[in-house]
């Protein structure tokens, strides 16, 4: 058994028990985020399925507050067409002792009230059409079940670290596994995100002229229309460390580099036209991660959209994919989109 995981599970049980405490206290502890039970009762709006339903994974610790606040902002952009469902999962065995004393029905209800209080403390409860608590399930499996049952548009989850934190574990277990499986467009939101810090610029979309970016382009266009924000595409021509060492700042062949970037820009515009996409295009050379975040900062982007190549486990052994790295460290919400997603 993994001692680190055992310790994390023990901490989760302690936090969840705190969440079941007095009703007047703010409940920030809890079990792992999110889930859905297709057999449980739901608001009528969810039983029939809504095209723009977003499922928000709620972990009663602080890491979910940014996700809840961002979801509420998204709902305010199109209140008549967007529905939010908050989901909290109790992993199997997490509350066995409490369940023996209080019973499953009572425990579910008390956790539901804890989630409701957390949303009220964040001043976003009114944005949510429903709250559900389910038990005995793996959070990621529960989220995938919810997507199918609700015919939802996508997921919104929090991550572990704030801002551009450099901690070893930045995403958290649930967010990391969701991005690996990517069952639907998935927002990953910094835990300290606040609407007051929302950038006034365009939605930035990182693209390559390949299948991995097709879904991101489609979803970004629809998101831009819903939020009334322009779209700016960014494509980065990767520069190897060897190239960078041989071409220090102020050196190299600026005319040749400019011609190459112009050629790449022409190819990218042709590809975007084939996707029926409209928006400004920026092409840069350098490190993909650094250049994308530089554009995000320069444009005061409210959010970032990217596709995913969905690397295999063996490929991920050499490091996070670009989309996961952006989701883990970007200072703004990042929407990672599967290639086959539709607008």
- pLDDT digit string (tens) for 281-320? 999 999 999 999 999 999 999 999 999 976 555 444 444 5
Q: Note whether 94 and 12 are within 8 A (CB).
A: yes
Whether 248 shows a pLDDT value over 80: the answer reads no
Tokens of 98: 């409490």
- Yes or no: say if 68 and 56 are a contact pair by the CB < 8 Å rule: yes
How far, in Å, CA of 329 to CA of 320, rounded?
11
Instruction: State residue 240's pLDDT score.
Output: 65
As a whole number of angstroms, the distance between CA 34 and CA 89 comes to: 5
Q: What is the pLDDT of residue 3?
A: 42
Mean pLDDT lowest for which of 45-49, 96-100, 210-214, 234-238? 45-49
19 pairs with which residues across the strands? none
* Alpha carbons 138 and 292: distance in angstroms, whole number: 34
Q: Which residues contact 100 (CB under 8 A, 6 or more apart)?
A: none
Distance CA 288, CA 305 (A): 14
Alpha-carbon gap, residue 154 to 55, rounded angstroms: 6
pLDDT at position 286: 92
The residue ranking higher by pLDDT, 56 or 17, is 56
Q: Is the pLDDT of residue 245 over 60?
A: no
pLDDT at site 4: 41
Tokens 């039983």 — which residue?
47
189 - beta bridge partners?
Answer: 158
Q: For position 21, what pLDDT does the model report? A: 39
CA distance 222 to 78: 12
The DSSP call for residue 300 is: T
How large is the average pLDDT for residues 12-19?
A: 35
Q: Is the confidence at residue 20, as pLDDT, over 70?
A: no
Asked whether the beta carbons of 299 and 202 are under 8 A apart, the reply is: yes
172 or 223: which leads in pLDDT:
223
pLDDT of residue 126: 96
**What's the whole-number average pLDDT of the chain?**
79
Dihedral, CA of residue 318, residue 303, residue 64 and residue 163, to nearest 10: 60
- Give the sheet arrangement for strand 280-286, strand by strand: 130-135, 83-90, 53-57, 154-158, 186-189, 334-337, 304-307, 203-206, 231-238, 280-286
Reduce the DSSP state of residue 197 to 3 states and report it. Answer: helix
Q: Is the pLDDT of residue 1 over 70?
A: no
- For residues 36 and 115, what is the distance between their CA atoms, to the nearest angstrom? 14
Mean per-residue pLDDT, 334-340: 96
Handedness of CA 265, 266, 271, 272 (dihedral sign): positive
DSSP 332: S
Q: What's the pLDDT score for residue 49?
A: 40
């Amino acid at each position: 058994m993994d001692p680190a995981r055992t310790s994390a599970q023990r901490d989760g049980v302690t936090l969840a028990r705190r969440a079941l405490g007095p009703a007047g206290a703010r409940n920030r502890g809890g079990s792992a985020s999110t889930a859905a039970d297709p057999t449980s009762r739901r608001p009528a709006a969810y039983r029939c399925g809504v095209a723009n339903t977003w499922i928000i994974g709620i972990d009663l610790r602080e890491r979910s507050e940014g996700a809840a606040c961002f979801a509420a902002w998204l709902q305010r952009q199109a209140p008549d067409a967007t529905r939010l469902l908050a989901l909290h999962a109790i992993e199997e065995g997490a509350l066995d002792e409490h369940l023996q004393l209080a019973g499953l029905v009572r425990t579910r209800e008390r956790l539901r009230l804890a989630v409701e209080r957390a949303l009220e403390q964040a001043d976003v409860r009114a944005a949510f059409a429903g709250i559900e608590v389910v038990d005995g399930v793996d959070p990621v499996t529960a989220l995938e079940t919810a997507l199918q049952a609700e015919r939802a548009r996508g997921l919104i989850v929090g991550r572990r670290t704030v801002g551009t934190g450099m901690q070893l574990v930045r995403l958290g277990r649930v967010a990391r596994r969701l991005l690996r499986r990517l069952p639907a467009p998935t927002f990953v939101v910094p835990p300290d995100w606040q609407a007051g810090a929302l950038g006034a610029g365009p939605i930035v979309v990182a693209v390559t002229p390949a299948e991995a970016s097709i879904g991101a382009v489609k979803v970004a266009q629809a998101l831009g229309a819903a939020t009334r924000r322009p779209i700016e595409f960014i494509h980065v021509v990767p520069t190897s460390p060897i190239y960078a060492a041989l071409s220090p700042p102020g050196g190299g062949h600026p005319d040749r580099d400019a011609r190459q970037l112009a050629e790449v820009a022409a190819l990218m515009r042709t590809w975007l036209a084939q996707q029926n996409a409209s928006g400004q295009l920026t092409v840069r050379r350098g490190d993909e991660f650094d250049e994308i975040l530089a554009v995000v900062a320069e444009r005061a982007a409210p959010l970032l959209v990217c596709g995913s190549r969905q690397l295999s486990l063996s490929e991920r052994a050499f490091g996070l994919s670009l989309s996961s790295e952006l989701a883990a460290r970007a200072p703004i919400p990042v929407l990672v989109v599967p290639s086959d997603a539709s607008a």
